[in-house]
Structure 1
Amino acid sequence: MLNALRRRPDSAAPEWLVVFLHGYGSTGADLMAFADYWQVSMPTVAFVAPDGPTATKDGGFQWVGKRPGNDPRLYDDAVAVQPVIDQFIDTELARLNLDASRLALVGFSQGTLMALHAGLRREQTPVAILGYAGGLVGRDKLQVDIKSRPPVLLVNGELDEFAPVYGMHVAVKTLSEVGVVAAGQSLPNLAHAVDADALILGARFLLSAFAYRAKHGAA
């Protein structure tokens, strides 16, 4: 089982679960910092931030290998680690007594890669996928692989040299072609990072997705 940080809602039983997936050489604690900004506006949301399954030589953890974005082995890596993420998510949902439709995934960098890969292949559609500074792998396989179509928002810095903004546009186009309601937002003067504007955009997206799912139910 993955090591993880958890934060329960402030004042209510949990109605939603946000799972954070961190970037290369990082830990769950880095993304749990997002909850510091979001928790006030999300009083019924539980947050969990696992560490990736494999330690890196530079410290921290990873979900997939440190490879160029166009390396086809990234897809193989993602396929290999997806069952680990799915098992973790299912265990967390059961622990909180939440239905799988109450799940949102939030990733950064290769965590975005895995949020998209795992989220689009879950049997029950997540409420939303929010990805920062990352994109899709195995785009040519998605039409066959896809099982669920949650709304997706991708946010990318225009100055990001590690995950260039064109990758976000390619991902949004690919997602749209397979019937996913997807949007991309590029932010000027932002490199491979998440700033206050990115967090505000993410919070608005998640709150809108929660409200829509609460009103209309799972697809």
Structure 2
Amino acid sequence: MTQLDGPRIQPRSGKAEQLVVFLHGYGADGNDLIEIGRQWRSFLPQAAFVSPHAPERCALSPAGRQWFPLTMRDPGERWRGVVATRPLLTEFLTQELARHELDASRLALVGFSQGTMLALHVGLRLATPPAAILGYSGVLVTGSEPPDIGPQFGTKPPPILLVHGEEDELIPADALFLSANALGKAEIPTQWHLSPGLGHGIDNGGLLHGGLFLARSFGLPVDFGKGAAPR
């Protein structure tokens, strides 16, 4: 099996008490999101951050990577893609948690675009639910098979925050509401934030909301006097 790897940020001091894994978008790589970890250190000083590079070179942007191919012409490609990539990412998460001697309850998944599709698909199917799933500019991918997410497995589902640009031209903002509604029907608690005037990206408000959400999901106190302000 292909081994994933990518840039890391270690906790400010001592042993990691949380692990935050970034999953980048189509055509980017792990370097695209890792610097967010430095901005969130004021909220998560004892967290380790890692941003693995996707396993495949991107067909439309050879300098970047892809978690799975996207043509935007095949309605089933997203579902097949997340299903095929799930074992690889699950194995990586298992290894990273073992590296830091943590269990999945101390894990947060943060995705952007295609990475959000994967964060939601994999995070909702881990044997131990993660502490949080944070998705920027993405969508919950559904398939033809019966859903296998939700409280029917006797576990408490992770809190989810979805953040989207109001003017997103690649994945329209309607994807946020469709995803939140589908998660709500599965009895999975979901918060959302719509960034006014933003296209397919992450703005300062979205970063602030995300950092606060992760800190609260990990049960950490949030001091606004010391917290990072939007830049």
TM-score by length of 2: 0.87
CA deviations over 1:150-206 (Å, ceiling 9, x no partner): 110000000101111000100000001101000221110110011111100000110
Matched with 2:132 is: 128
For the pair 1:104 / 2:113, whether they are aligned, the reply is no
Mapped to 2, the partners of 1:17 and 1:142 lie a distance apart of 31
Mapped to 2, the partners of 1:69 and 1:90 lie a distance apart of 34
Matched with 2:226 is: none
| SS of residue matched to 2:168 | coil
Moved more, 142-151 or 165-174: 142-151
Mapped to 2, the partners of 1:171 and 1:67 lie a distance apart of 21
5 Å-filtered alignment, 1:29-48, equals 29-48=31-50
CA deviations over 1:110-168 (Å, ceiling 9, x no partner): 00000000000111010000000001111664633556621100000001011110001
Matched with 1:196 is: 204
Residue 83 (structure 2) aligned to one of 46, 62, 79 = 79
Residue 7 of structure 1 aligns with an amino acid whose one-letter code is I
Moved more, 1-10 or 152-161: 1-10
Distance 1:10 1:46, change over 3 A: same
Distance 1:70 1:186, change over 3 A: farther
Residue 81 of structure 1 aligns with an amino acid whose one-letter code is T
Mapped to 1, the partners of 2:211 and 2:73 lie a distance apart of 27
Moved more, 155-164 or 133-142: 133-142
Mapped to 2, the partners of 1:158 and 1:137 lie a distance apart of 20
| SS of residue matched to 2:109 | strand
Distance 1:168 1:140, change over 3 A: farther
Matched with 1:175 is: 183
For the pair 1:164 / 2:172, whether they are aligned, the reply is yes
| SS of residue matched to 1:71 | coil
Residue 177 of structure 1 aligns with an amino acid whose one-letter code is K
Contact 1:158 / 1:189 at 8 angstroms: preserved in 2? yes
Mapped to 2, the partners of 1:201 and 1:141 lie a distance apart of 33
**Structure 1: which 5+ runs fail to align?**
213-219
For the pair 1:66 / 2:70, whether they are aligned, the reply is yes
Displacement of 1:70: 7.6
Q: Which has the higher helix share?
A: 1
Residue 160 of structure 1 aligns with an amino acid whose one-letter code is D
Contact 1:67 / 1:74 at 8 angstroms: preserved in 2? no
Mapped to 1, the partners of 2:32 and 2:72 lie a distance apart of 23
TM-score by length of 1: 0.92
Identity across matched positions, percent = 40
Matched with 1:15 is: 17
| SS of residue matched to 2:41 | helix
Distance 1:69 1:39, change over 3 A: farther
Mapped to 2, the partners of 1:13 and 1:42 lie a distance apart of 13
Q: Which has the larger radius of gyration?
A: 2
Mapped to 1, the partners of 2:146 and 2:208 lie a distance apart of 29
Mapped to 1, the partners of 2:74 and 2:114 lie a distance apart of 13
Q: How many residues align?
A: 212
Contact 1:72 / 1:138 at 8 angstroms: preserved in 2? no
RMSD: 1.7
